Amino acid sequence: MKDPVIFTTKAFGAQTKSSPLAATTIERRTPTPHDVQIEILYCGVCHSDLHTVRDEWGGTVYPCVPGHEIVGRVTKVGSDVTKFKPGDIAAVGCMVDSCRSCPSCREGLEQFCEAGMIQTYNSPDKYSGGVTYGGYSENIVVSEDFVLRVPENLELAAVAPLLCAGITTYSPLRHWKVGKGQKVGIVGLGGLGHMGVKFASAFGAHVVLFTTSPGKTKDALRLGAHEVVISKNPDEMKKHLNSFDFILDAVSADHDINAYLELLKRDGTLTLIGAPQKPLGASAFNLIFKRRQFAGSLIGGIAETQEMLDFCGQHGITSDIEMIKIDQINEAYERMLKSDVKYRFVIDMASLKK
């Protein structure tokens, strides 16, 4: 393979785990025959960006340029690209490549690639020899197989969060066949949680939202929840003992998982999508006595991400967003830590050019 030519692009990133994000430059490759170059218009802000920038999960390589909820306009395509042409609107989520040949990749579950998926940021980059850099930047270059089409009827800035928060909630709700006649809990009304409420309610389930923020009750009902429970109130929690078919836990910090396991009925499932730093201590008795299942789920494959976007186009579903400029990102992280996001920050990337 001929080495691609490198170009410089503006970005916003962190130089160490304790430094704030600031303007920087990174290098991108010009498109190889199967690549699409995208000018980034909007990038959503995921709590995983914060976990990674601050090295809360370990393994962050600096400089770190996060961002994996990307919507933009195609500016260049490689000679063999068939799905996109310059001028098209396109999107990129949490992955930019995988081995494409292992059993998981062949099943369209690239997120579980046995050789390790290549994430949009902080993954080994086979072209540069360094790590991948994400969407807090002017441009990104991605293999067309990992680029998504965006339904034309949706507002672009509000589509960006679908690329992570959307697919991460859509995929488990589909996998565990959530639908009519089921009582479903969503824990935490943040970026992921609010999309979980929208999808579970679109799939026809009876949706109960658990929150630590009483001020979010009205919004939760507007977003599609049928009931809201303030999880800090044990009496309110007790009313729901042994009653849920399925619970999706989207909490970013340490919390008492047993308070939710005991709300599942026999054979019910609690699926974690939140990724707190510390292990959660599930009580054996909460699982064995009612044959309950405690599971996890990771984003979704490329085909399912496209299916989710098309579903959103058909049903007019997008994220509820608060638009920010790139120089407000550090403040946005602090607000995210205080659960003060309604319900996803999206960066207007035009603010990076100034």
Contact 344, 161 (CB under 8 A): yes
From the CB of 165, what's the least distance to ligand NAP, in Å? 6
46 binds Zn ion (CB under 5 A): yes
Using CB under 6 A as the binding rule, the residues of this chain from 261 to 300 that contact ligand NAP are 273-276, 297-299
Of 77-85, 100-108, 180-188, 246-254, the segment contacting Zn ion by CB under 5 A is: 100-108
Q: Which of 216, 223, 263, 294 binds ligand NAP (CB under 6 A)?
A: 216
CB within 8 Å of 30: residues ≥ 6 apart: 4, 5, 6, 7, 37, 76, 141
Contact 34, 80 (CB under 8 A): yes
Closest chain position to ligand NAP (CB): 190
From the CB of 208, what's the least distance to ligand NAP, in Å? 12
Q: Which does 98 bind (CB under 5 to 8 A by kind): ligand NAP, Zn ion, none?
A: Zn ion
Contact 118, 98 (CB under 8 A): yes
DSSP, residue by residue, 50-61: HHHHTTSSS---
Q: Which does 183 bind (CB under 5 to 8 A by kind): ligand NAP, Zn ion, none?
A: none
273 binds Zn ion (CB under 5 A): no
Structure tokens at 351: 């603010």
Structure tokens at 55: 């090295």
> C-alpha angle with apex 322: 317 to 324, nearest 5 degrees?
135
If the CB atoms of residues 90 and 117 are measured against ligand NAP, the closer one turns out to be: 117
Residues in the chain, overall count: 354
Cα(2)–Cα(37) distance, integer angstroms: 18
Residues making contact with Zn ion (CB under 5 A): 46, 48, 98-99, 102, 105, 113, 164
Binding residues vs ligand NAP (CB under 6 A): 46-48, 51, 164-165, 168, 188-193, 211-213, 216, 250-253, 255, 273-276, 297-299, 336, 339, 341
